[in-house]
Amino acid sequence: MDIHYWSGLILLGLLVFRLYWGFAGPETARFAQFIKGPRAVFGYLGKLFKPDYRASFGHNPLGALSVIALLLAVAVQVGLGLFASDTDFVSAGPLNHHIKDYDLIETITEWHEDFFNVLLAVIGLHLAAIAFYLVVKRINLVGPMLTGRRKAANVEGPRAGIAPVSMVRLLIGIVLAVGVVWLIAR
């Protein structure tokens, strides 16, 4: 359970960092840049299987839905885990002591256990989409995500990649994530 506990806190830190990065990170990581409405999603779906398909530099409208679903699923799972407990209260989430109603704790714990399957499904769908782009469309999504660079062939967007983000913004995100985890875990 110690590994479970600390894994949850690490996920909380990563979630806090990603939410911050959605506002302060590079252009392709910003929510305002890639979250689009239904018209853009359906328009993208209409182009996806055409021979002249060009990949987006950054998240495409359908990928944005996947990112949001993944962030929400992780947030729900981590949020429930913060308040969950085993039946004999030997191991409990760091915010569990704020709930005095045993039945509510039991319900939250059951949701935490059951929602894990939803989280696995969302992760599986995300990985299946990455595999689809790699195998069917012959587009590597992971490499550009890690490096910020993509081969210019069949890609809409800047040829040189994304502009670097200042180290100050990166450090703010790290301090924010560590600070939230520290406040909750203490």
pLDDT tens for 115-149 read 999 999 999 999 999 999 999 988 888 887 777 66
pLDDT over 70 (residue 38): yes
Percent of all residues in the chain with a pLDDT value above 90, rounded to a whole number:
60
CA distance 148 to 143: 8
* 7-29 tens-digit pLDDT: 999 999 999 999 999 999 988 88
Q: What angle do CA 95, 98, 101 make, to 5 degrees?
A: 120
On average, the pLDDT of the chain sits at 89
Cβ atoms within 10 Å of 138's Cβ, excluding its own:
9
pLDDT over 70 (residue 3): yes
* Per-residue pLDDT, 150: 67
